[in-house]
Amino acid sequence: MQIEPIRAFEDNYIWAIRQGGHVALVDPGEAAPVLKFLEATGDQLCAILVTHRHGDHIGGIAELVARHPVPVFGPALEAAEVVTHPLADEDHVALPELGVDLTVIGVPGHTLGHIAFYSAGLLFCGDTLFGAGCGRVFEGTLEQMHASLAKLAALPLDTQVYCAHEYTQSCLRFAQVVEPDNAAIATRSSDVARLRSAGKPSVPSTLAEELATNPFLRWDAPAVIAAATARLGHVPANRAATFAAIRLWRDTL
C-alpha cells in the first residue's frame, strides 16, 4: 500500500491510499486535481473517506461520484449531503480492494461530528491534529477537543499522522514561542524548513514526533504547564485546562 498526497487549494492535502491499481481518497475538497491524478495513474477509485463537513474536505465529492460512483464513508453527524455510509466512534470501514480495515475514532472539537480513520501504523485525522498543531475549536468545547486529542495521543508512537493541511511551519513558530528551549522543536523547524524549500510536504509525521514537538499534545510537559500558568495567572487545574490555555493563546495570534 502506498499513500500519496494530492494537493488542493492553497494548503490542503487529499490523501490517496493506493494498492494494486485501486485508490481510496481522504477528504477530496476539490475534484480537478483528483481527476488529474486518476488519469495520470490509471488507478480505479474504490472509496471516499470524509473526516468532517467543511467545504475544503468535501467540495469535490459530488463531481467525483457523478463520474465514479463509489461509497462515501463519513461522519454520521454531518456531511449527510455526500456521505452514503455514516460512521460513528469505533465503527470499522473495510476496503477490500486495498486490503485495509480502518477503525473510526470520534474526535469532536473542530466540528461536532469530526471523525478520524486509524489502521495499524496510519492515522487520517483531518483538521483535528496538524503537524505541531491542532485544528481550531469551532463547534465543540475545549474540553472535547482535549479529550479527542488525548485519544490520538494514546495511539502507538510509530503511527504516521496524515493530516489535511500543510500548516506545520506556522505551527512550529507558535510551538517555539510556547517552548523556546525545546530542542526537538528547533530540530523539527529546520527539518521542515528544508523540506518546504524543496517543495516537499512536511507530513506525514509520526505520533512520536508530535508528542515531542506539538504544544497541543504536551499538556504534561513542565514548560507547557509553565507557559499556560503565565497566560492564566494561576496553575491550570488539569490537563484539559493546560490545553485550553494554549489553544486560546494560539487563537489570539
Give least dist CB 34 to Zn ion, A.
18
Give least dist CB 229 to Zn ion, A.
30
Is there binding between residue 166 and Zn ion (CB under 5 A)?
Answer: no
Is there binding between residue 27 and Zn ion (CB under 5 A)?
Answer: no
Which CB atom, from 125 or from 212, has the smaller least distance to Zn ion? Answer: 125
**Residue 44 β-bridge partners:** 22
> What is d(CA 110, CA 196) in angstroms, rounded to the nearest whole number?
26
> What is d(CA 143, CA 4) in angstroms, rounded to the nearest whole number?
33
Give least dist CB 139 to Zn ion, A.
10
Is there binding between residue 56 and Fe ion (CB under 5 A)?
Answer: yes
Is there binding between residue 54 and Zn ion (CB under 5 A)?
Answer: yes
Q: Is 52 a catalytic residue?
A: yes
Residue 78 in contact with residue 41, Cβ under 8 Å? no
Chain length of the chain:
253
Stretch that binds Zn ion, among 41-49, 50-58, 143-151, 193-201 (CB under 5 A): 50-58
Pick out residues in 70-129 that bind Zn ion (CB under 5 A).
127
Given the residues 127, 191, 220, 234, the one annotated as active site: 127
Cell of 38: 486518476
Q: Is 146 a catalytic residue?
A: no
Which CB atom, from 78 or from 127, has the smaller least distance to Zn ion? Answer: 127
> What is d(CA 200, CA 198) in angstroms, rounded to the nearest whole number?
6
Q: Give the three-state DSSP class for 227.
A: helix
Q: Is 110 a catalytic residue?
A: yes
- Find the farthest-apart pair of alpha carbons in the chain and give their distance in angstroms, rounded: 58
Which CB atom, from 13 or from 185, has the smaller least distance to Zn ion? Answer: 13
Which CB atom, from 29 or from 204, has the smaller least distance to Zn ion? Answer: 29
Pick out residues in 105-164 that bind Fe ion (CB under 5 A).
127
Cell of 44: 480505479
Which CB atom, from 127 or from 166, has the smaller least distance to Fe ion? Answer: 127
Give least dist CB 109 to Zn ion, A.
11
Residue ranges that bind Fe ion, judged by CB under 5 A? 56, 127
Q: Which residues are known to be catalytic? A: 52, 54, 56-57, 110, 127, 165
